[in-house]
Structure 1
Amino acid sequence: MGKVACVFPGQGAQTVGMGKDLYEHLPESREMFAKINDTLGFDLTSIMFEGPEDKLRLTYHTQPALLAVSAILFRALADKGLKPDYVAGHSLGEYSALVAADALSFEDGLKTVFERGRLMDRAVPAGQGAMAAVLGAEREALQELCARISEETGLVELANVNCPGQIVVSGSAAGVQAVVENGKAAGAKRVIPLEVSGPFHSSLMQPAADGLREVLTSVNVQAPSVPLIANVTAQPVQAAEEIRQLLVKQVVAPVLWEDSVRVLLDKGVDTFIEVGTGTVLAGLIKKIDRQANIVSVHSYEALQACLEEGAYA
């Protein structure tokens, strides 16, 4: 039998109503929901359940909300016997993976990503940074285009290497706009500007990385119970201090998601369980390997279906 990896979504997967069905139908989850507000000191669950959307979309609300739903869903799976061989998360999802692997407590995970969100929100003044999704370009050609634009116009870098034909770039507003205008030179079929609050995973986020380094000095990071495939290196990591360093670097470095999935496949993973809001990662993994068995556990209904089918047994 092949191995199982649990993967956890990042920012962009949030939606008003997230987690409400779990609270209503999964009594054992209510203690964790209560911890969310107690830990953060404000009523995040109301924002998750009822919105408004613009308030949920604030990155310092989005990040703990996504982590909370992922952690609650994973706990429900683990209580029924799920023991993944590996964990990985996309950007913010890396923290959910660390909570699942007992490297971070649920409470420390919530507090850390709330502070991470605040730091990221303040790092670059509004309007000075941007991001765009580049469809159809090869990684090397896009990297060369970004290097040329960074020299001539304004900083722009690869931010998320998601799957074949989908790469996100990030940087200065002028640099990203130049990619939008000149993407075809790198073989892009389309370049789509993204509605984001900052140039995430670019070197412009260095102030946030510096702040996060300070935050993490007081966070108890343990060696994970199963290997984590890190965003920055796309390699397994189990040493607590290395995890701490990679979480800081992750703020300014690209998320190597395609590479991470390929490493998991090479290590014998044939079942991916996406744990958390949305189905974004399932779509990306299918584009990397059409043969992979992928289960998205994003709601109470999907959780029950996964448990009934024994998708990971």
Structure 2
Amino acid sequence: MLALLYPGQGAQSAGFLHRLPPHGVVASTIEEASDALSLDVLSLDSEEALQSSVAVQISLAVAGVATARRLAEAGIEAQVHAGLSVGAYAAAVGCGAIAFADALRMVKRRAELMERAYPKGYGLSAIEGLTEAQIEALIGTEGAPGGGCVYVANVNAPRQIVVAGSDAALDAFNDRAQAAGAHRAKRLAVSVPSHCELLRDACDTLVDYASAIPVGTPKHLYIGNRRARALYRGDDVRDDLATNMRYTVRWFDVLTTIVERGATLILEAPPGRVSTDIVHAAYPDVAALAAAAFADDRFIESVKRRIGDGA
């Protein structure tokens, strides 16, 4: 069974859309996205443009869908789709639950709401070496460190936790985490406090906006962010997309669900590599490849070879 993963905000780097393989299906996907949003999508991945969450989230959605379509054109069809945070939108397109143009408009609205709610002074930190329980205990030991609360945003691996909050709170928490034994505590390239109660009002607005967007039954398995389980109804997929900005992403549980369902080959869309590394570490018997690690068609060739070898 083949699974395709789509990365979230923080994976981006300047020029990543321009580094996608120069194939017709990739170019047509970018053109379709530009037409749907009435803007030049290829202008969104410059270092300056990527300072905006709107540009980042749209670009990631486009890269994910372009990759799924490039694989499909080569006769490679994923049976399972899952995306971290905004990556869920590309996953919903890839599994056939939502039209690309509708997903893009929803992504744009999502990012605008997040940015409007917290235009500056907030973000995310990645903490490595502490468990979720240790992070939660550390959050609760001294009330609101650094002038604000810190929240568990992503559980990417058993000892790789992302927390959200204000800049001051995160800087103070990073120091406390390292003092408590964390191997690393580092701010991420994300300028909004994703996946926590700080985005409750923005989430409610997006839920209202999404109610008019058609979302159908997935043709392939779609694994949701919040509960890390397969969602079979369009309404459930819509809810997962509209609300994931507010709730903790249980990404390691998602990866575990995919493995337990029998995935033998896990692919990660560009520009992500982190999920591939997590799979390698936690599930070494499962083959995992990151498209961003390959140039041009070497990714396609490697996938076909793995499939031919029975991966």
Q: Which residue of 2 aligns with 1:30?
A: 27
2:63 & 2:97 partners in 1: Cα distance?
17
| Runs of 4+ with >6 A deviation | none
Structure 1 segment 67-216 matched on structure 2, within 5 A: 67-127=61-121, 129-150=122-143, 154-184=148-178, 186-216=180-210
Identity of aligned pairs, percent?
28
1:35 & 1:150 partners in 2: Cα distance?
48
Q: Which residue of 2 aligns with 1:248?
A: 242
* Offset from partner CA, 1:22-63 (integer Å, 9 cap, x none): 47x312333322112111111122333xx2x12133111111
1:255 & 1:150 partners in 2: Cα distance?
23
2:274 & 2:186 partners in 1: Cα distance?
17
Question: C-alpha displacement at 1:99, in angstroms?
Answer: 0.6
Question: C-alpha displacement at 1:307, in angstroms?
Answer: 5.3
Amino acid at match of 1:271: L
Q: Which residue of 2 aligns with 1:19?
A: 17
2:3 touches 2:267 (CA, 8 Å); kept in 1? yes
1:138 & 1:45 partners in 2: Cα distance?
39
Q: Which residue of 1 aligns with 2:7?
A: 9
2:44 & 2:261 partners in 1: Cα distance?
39
Q: Secondary structure at the match of 1:205?
A: helix
Q: Which moved more, 1:28-37 or 1:208-217?
A: 28-37
Question: C-alpha displacement at 1:109, in angstroms?
Answer: 1.4
Q: Secondary structure at the match of 2:264?
A: strand
1:131 & 1:265 partners in 2: Cα distance?
28
1:149 & 1:253 partners in 2: Cα distance?
23
2:157 & 2:228 partners in 1: Cα distance?
13
Unaligned runs of 5+ in 1: none
Q: Which residue of 2 aligns with 1:44?
A: 41
Q: 1:70 to 1:195 in 2, by over 3 A?
A: closer
1:164 touches 1:288 (CA, 8 Å); kept in 2? no
Aligned length: 306
Question: C-alpha displacement at 1:259, in angstroms?
Answer: 1.0
Question: C-alpha displacement at 1:186, in angstroms?
Answer: 4.9
**TM-score, normalized by length of structure 1?**
0.89
CA RMSD between the two structures = 2.2
1:131 & 1:208 partners in 2: Cα distance?
17
Q: Which moved more, 1:67-76 or 1:11-20?
A: 11-20
**TM-score, normalized by length of structure 2?**
0.90
